[in-house]
């Protein structure tokens, strides 16, 4: 199953792959060169398919828990000052996505979308300390009566050239449901209450909609 954000790219890439196969087959006479080029083109197409895959995830909905919004590796767990929405100290948990990870963004908690904003910006590497405030990004805050408010931020990386955010203020968010997509390498930051119980460690690999990041 592929994400809808990749349908046009996959179709366009397929046309290019077919055209390249035709050209290579008709104009390259040396067998090993022809075979090698076809393999390279095929591998490229497989990588595109892998990037836009959208595996089904069954999220155990729990208003007392925050699940990972994306697949990737935990690269930051620290207390910080969040200055865009809360203007107070929060626990930041950041998940870095490599180009081979699933890039679907999912709601970490269920509830009401109370804030959603897009920010144009730079394309620093996603692990750069300033990427959270200087890169192209979106900020979304979801609130439920049990956990309170959770802010999560999609951040473009050096390769990411488009962030897709479906969240609109006053929408009803379902934990684990599709919230957006980030194209080609990026990260997501979570900002949680200071008294939350963090359930992950640095460098731990997590899965969007499945891995528990924190709980009350």
Per-position pLDDT tens, the chain of length 216: 776 776 787 788 888 888 888 888 888 888 888 888 888 888 888 877 777 777 788 888 999 999 999 999 999 999 999 999 999 999 999 999 887 888 889 999 999 999 999 988 665 655 555 556 667 889 999 999 999 999 999 988 665 557 889 999 999 999 999 999 887 668 899 999 999 999 999 999 999 999 999 998
d(Cα 146, Cα 85) in Å, to the nearest integer? 20
Q: How many CB atoms lie within 10 A of CB 180?
A: 22
Cα angle 39, 12, 119; round to 5: 115
CATH of segment(s) 65-215: 2.70.70
Q: Which of 113, 111, 162, 116 is nearest to 135 (CA)?
A: 162
By the 8 A CB rule, do 60 and 51 touch?
no
Active-site residue identified among 68, 131, 132, 186: 186
pTM of the predicted model, to two decimals?
0.81
- Catalytic status, residue 186: yes
d(Cα 161, Cα 163) in Å, to the nearest integer? 7
């Amino acid at each position: 199953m592929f994400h809808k954000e990749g349908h046009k790219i996959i179709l366009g890439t397929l046309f290019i792959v077919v055209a390249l196969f035709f050209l290579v087959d008709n104009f390259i006479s040396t067998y090993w060169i022809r075979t090698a080029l076809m393999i390279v083109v095929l591998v490229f197409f497989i990588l595109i398919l892998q990037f836009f895959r959208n595996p089904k995830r069954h999220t155990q909905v729990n208003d007392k828990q925050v699940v990972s919004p994306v697949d990737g590796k935990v690269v930051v767990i620290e207390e910080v000052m969040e200055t865009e929405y809360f203007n107070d100290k929060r626990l930041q948990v950041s998940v870095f996505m490599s180009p081979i990870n699933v890039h679907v963004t999912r709601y970490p908690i269920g509830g009401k979308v109370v804030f959603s904003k897009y920010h144009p910006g730079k394309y620093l590497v996603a692990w750069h300390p300033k990427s959270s405030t200087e890169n192209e990004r979106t900020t979304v805050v979801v609130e439920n009566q049990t956990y309170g408010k959770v802010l999560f931020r999609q951040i473009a990386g050096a390769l990411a050239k488009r962030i897709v955010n479906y969240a609109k203020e006053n929408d009803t968010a379902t934990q684990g449901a599709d919230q957006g997509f980030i194209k080609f390498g990026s990260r997501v930051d979570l900002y949680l209450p200071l008294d939350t119980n963090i359930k992950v460690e640095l460098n731990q690999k997590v899965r969007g909609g499945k891995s528990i990041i924190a709980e009350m």
